[in-house]
Structure 1
């Protein structure tokens, strides 16, 4: 039995249309399944908790997220015991950073075929972000500052819906990034890693904690990040001029930004982030509010994920 948690509003409403096509395929193949639909932000957390409430390692649930990267974050956050599920993903969003890093099909029909065949099951680390005592999972990245501010604005700008309709949704990240960079003021941020290593920075544009290589619609911010090595990769952009950041950002699509002075990359098991002023924070591209501090670690149990 497959359980699908579907975000019908993903990709500006195209998620519902894509699901209808996938449902037709499931019926034609006589696949046993149940589907539930999200109705508001955070709903997938509750749905995943309900679907997996009676799951166990002996009787696992095949749990499939159908939506964008933010849907993955919510679905994983709703699962209390990750050892009790097999996780699959069908992309109907516009960013698709999860697919890039995990080398999953970006075509929804190919992704469904991959899930039904179940040829390869792998383990994936699941990070936990803790903000003011509240914890949630994420799959790709979380961050504070510039990248989070871009995610916040992208999620509410009408431009995203307009560009999605003509297949150019990824351009919205570029437009918003340029706008945010113009008005951004770098601030002091301190990182504490693995309880002992302390790194103070004075003019930080953003700091991102990565479980995958990509975020923000294709930026390869941590080229060596692996979702199965038990480590978090952390990137800090500090002390550059805005002109240099502007020049540096496009090179991040190929992971070449690491050659610039002011780009710092670390690896750790746990990281605590402290900002001197409240800044935007995101988790898998979804808003986590305006915060001064948060911490990230990795769950003891990885999740089993269905790959091609």
Structure 2
């Protein structure tokens, strides 16, 4: 049995288009009747669907996510992974998807489907956990605090508003750059410290942002160049500088 969690609005409706291709392929195979589909309508749906599918499950299940990294994050966060009986596959809606780029595999779409349904090979990958105010969330690629997070909050907040108004929006490089500069102008530095695994404390006086990386990419930029999603380590990128405009050269 195959299970699909689909964000139909991902990448301006591309999620739905990809699902149409997958469904057409499925209907030509022996798996024509052995799948179930869950369509998201709002933030949190993918998390709720994955929890429903995996909670108290004893059978092996393959959950395929069609959407962006946000949808994948929700599925991983909501899944019960305490037993080794859940496999999660990912069909990204964007060609420049950061997580997909980490695997360095450029397969034709039909080859991807063939791998998924006929000769799939499982890989064990890491995920991170962010805890704050008594709440914990898993993340599959990266998590940012400070200026870094403000940029993405601004970008995706604007995107959600446009989706509600049924307008199309493409977050391209120019849109990202404009938001980056706007948030950088407003950004405030702060003092803080990091406690590492070896119990050594590192203190910083002018923290602009901290990002934690399971995989190298974030927003198209390779902020964690040595991050490896299967090495058991979390890579940190810490930007602390008196002159915040230096971040333009750092990035």
The TM-score range, normalised by the shorter chain, is 0.7 to 0.9
- Counterparts of 2:180 and 2:111, CA distance in 1: 31
Cα deviation for residue 170 of structure 1 reads 4.5
Cα deviation for residue 112 of structure 1 reads 3.0
**Contact kept? 2:54, 2:79, Cα under 8 Å:** yes
Note the 1:37-186 alignment, pairs <5 A.
Answer: 37-56=39-58, 59-81=59-81, 83-93=84-94, 96-105=97-106, 110-158=111-159, 162-164=168-170, 169-186=172-189
**Contact kept? 1:101, 1:212, Cα under 8 Å:** yes
What TM-score does the superposition give when structure 1 sets the normalisation length?
0.72
Higher helix share: 2
Counterpart for residue 15 of structure 2: 15
Once the two structures are superposed, residues 124-165 of structure 1 have per-residue CA deviations (whole angstroms, 9 ceiling, x without a partner) of: 01222112111221100111011101110110225896552x
**Contact kept? 1:146, 1:180, Cα under 8 Å:** yes
**Contact kept? 1:145, 1:205, Cα under 8 Å:** yes
Counterpart for residue 205 of structure 1: 208
Which sections of structure 2, spanning at least 5 residues, go unmatched? none
Cα deviation for residue 121 of structure 1 reads 1.9
Does residue 2 of structure 1 match 2:2?
yes
Cα deviation for residue 234 of structure 1 reads 0.6
| Structure 1 moving runs of 4+ over 4 Å | 104-110, 158-163
Of 224, 246, 249, 1:247 maps to 249
Counterpart for residue 252 of structure 1: none
| Bigger relative contact order, structure 1 or 2 (CA pairs below 8 A, ≥6 apart) | 1
Counterpart for residue 278 of structure 1: none
Matched residue of 2:151: which SS?
A: helix
What number of residue pairs does the alignment pair up? 243
**Contact kept? 1:124, 1:228, Cα under 8 Å:** yes
Cα deviation for residue 63 of structure 1 reads 1.0
Of 191, 195, 201, 2:194 maps to 191
Which sections of structure 1, spanning at least 5 residues, go unmatched? 250-308
**Contact kept? 2:69, 2:99, Cα under 8 Å:** yes
Cα deviation for residue 114 of structure 1 reads 3.2
Cα deviation for residue 243 of structure 1 reads 3.4
Counterpart for residue 25 of structure 1: 25
What TM-score does the superposition give when structure 2 sets the normalisation length?
0.87
Higher strand share: 1
Cα deviation for residue 66 of structure 1 reads 0.9
Once the two structures are superposed, residues 23-69 of structure 1 have per-residue CA deviations (whole angstroms, 9 ceiling, x without a partner) of: 1121122423111111211111110011122433xx31111111100
Alignment root-mean-square deviation, CA: 2.4
Once the two structures are superposed, residues 226-283 of structure 1 have per-residue CA deviations (whole angstroms, 9 ceiling, x without a partner) of: 111111111101115233211221xxxxxxxxxxxxxxxxxxxxxxxxxxxxxxxxxx
